[in-house]
Structure formats: structure tokens, C-alpha cells
Amino acid sequence: MPLNINHQEIVPEDLAFNRLDHVASALFPQYSRSRLQTWIKNGELVVDGQKRKSKDKVTGGELVAIQSSAIETTYEAQAIPLNVVYEDEHLLVVNKPSGLVVHPGAGNFDGTLLNGLLHHAEQLNGIPRAGIVHRLDKDTTGLLVVAKTLTTQHHLVQQLQARSVSRIYDAAVYGSLTRSGKVDQPIGRHTTQRTKMAIRPGGKPAITHYKVVQNFGEHSHIELALETGRTHQIRVHMQSISHPLIGDNTYGGGFKEPAHKDSGLLKALREFKRPALHARELKLIHPATEEEMHWCAEIPVDMQTLLDDLMLYSSEGE
């Protein structure tokens, strides 16, 4: 069905002399960059009533207006079980299981978190991407926040851009880590394998902090905090320092035979079939109440079993 979209914003001085598409992204963060560029190209996003190009610079003070009857992609509401850990009229927080894709895409046209959200809360049909403002990979478990209104979505996107949303992850990685550290390396699309990301000069800035929770000798349990939220950021960054996530076949964490070949340890490593990554904590400012909100989700059974086995067999090997 057509969705009538009408917005107007004045370009503030701090955005002067930037490209129009960059300014539009800052003024209308509820919409993707590609959608805004399409509206610019079609003349549905204009500056002082005039059609412009995405690369054109603004000087500040102009009126940027969107008027569109966009045909929204229709996604089916599906009764997919959701573990909702918090919900009010403004937002909800979901503890996502492994194996659940967040948003429909190539090869996953339904059966996603988005489809489940549309069934859970009908008003999300009127929110771009059903209110999803950040994502977790298919096999990553843990907490994810969803906006239930456009105002909330705008507020949460601003918090993410300002890096004021706190996200803490647990991971099990290959190798012996003995000290905390930071990876500050830009991430972009892999040059030859388009489904992968990689450390690339000229990529988007990406910063990951990590600290050791427990060292098992040949493996480590670590805690990670993100300053940025790039696609596959943790997986790419940990591979870049030669400590890939256990179970991550895409980024170098496939099965590796340990030095002491205990049958129990071998079995635990072989049978863990997903990247050992869990989004354990989420902290943000509530868009309506301005209260600091904090949620925690226990490490799921499969990953906790892996950590227990790593501890057991590392102790037995000492």
C-alpha cells in the first residue's frame, strides 16, 4: 500500500557544506541512505523547492522537504515465538535466539525477527524496518532493541550515532589472551567475497574493546564493548588480531585441533557450529522518560556448555 511521507527540516549551520545525501541522512535518520538517495534522484526530496543531486553541497539554512507516496515492501506478519524481555508503548527489547535472521533478505524472505515483530505489535507496520534500529547476525544471540514509534526510532538512531548506546558481548575465541585491548581498524566490504567484511583502508571507522574474562590456555572467554556497530565488526576485528571466534567458519574460527587432544575437548569444539558470540547487556536512555535503561540476558545453554567444557578440559590438561 502507498505510504504518504511528508517531512520538512531546516539545514542547521553545523551541517553546512556537506553533501545533500549526507545531510538528509542526518536530518531523517529513520530512513536508509539508499532510500533518501532515490528520493533525491526522483525529485521527491527537494531543497528550497528545487531538485538537486545527492553530491550537491548545502550552505545551511535551506528547507529540505520530502514528499513521497512510497510503495512499501509488504512483509507477512508471522507467529514466530519471541523472547520479549521488556516492552512499553515506546520500545521493546528482544532476546534473540541463534538461527533467527533479523531482517528479510536474499534467501530469507520470511521467518525472520521482522516477521515475528509485525505479528507481535501491529503498529510496527507503520515504522520503517518494523522499528529495527540495529541488528545481530543470524547465529548471534542476545539483546536487540526495537522502536515502536517513529519518534522513538529517530531518538534511538541518534543515540547509536552518538555512540551512547552501550552493548556488551561475550565471546569464546581461539588463542590465549592475557590482557585487555582495543581494535581500532576500519571495516569495509571484502574486495572479492561480497558476503564478507574485511579490514580495509578507507572503510568505515570501527572500534572494539575487549577484556579477558577467563584464559583456558588455548582458548579464551572474553567480554567485548562496541563503540561502533559495523557489520560483522567483532568477528572481523577478532580475526584481525589472530583470535577468531570459535565456530566462526566465515572468519577463521572453524575447528582447530588443540595441542592436547582430549576427546571431550575435541567433541566440544567440533560440535559448536556457530560463532560463539552473545549480546549480553544493553544500556540506553529511554526516549520518552530520559531514564537510563539496562537489560541483561544470560549466556545461552549451548555457549555456556562450550565455556564449561573449555574450563573443564583446560584444568584437566594442567
Candidate list 21, 137, 170, 309, residue with the active-site label? 137
| Whether 137 is catalytic | yes
CA distance 123 to 76: 14
CA distance 44 to 46: 6
CA distance 142 to 208: 18
* Residue 40, number of CB atoms within 10 A of its CB: 23
148 and 91 Cβ atoms separated by less than 8 Å: yes
CA 279 to chain centre: 10
Q: Give the sign of the dihedral formed by CA 92, CA 97, CA 103, CA 109.
A: negative
If DSSP codes are grouped into helix, strand and coil, which group holds residue 81? coil
Give residue for cell 571484502: 190
Question: Which residue, among 63, 75, 125, 122, has the nearest Cα to 103 in the 3D structure?
Answer: 75
Q: Give catalytic residue positions.
A: 137
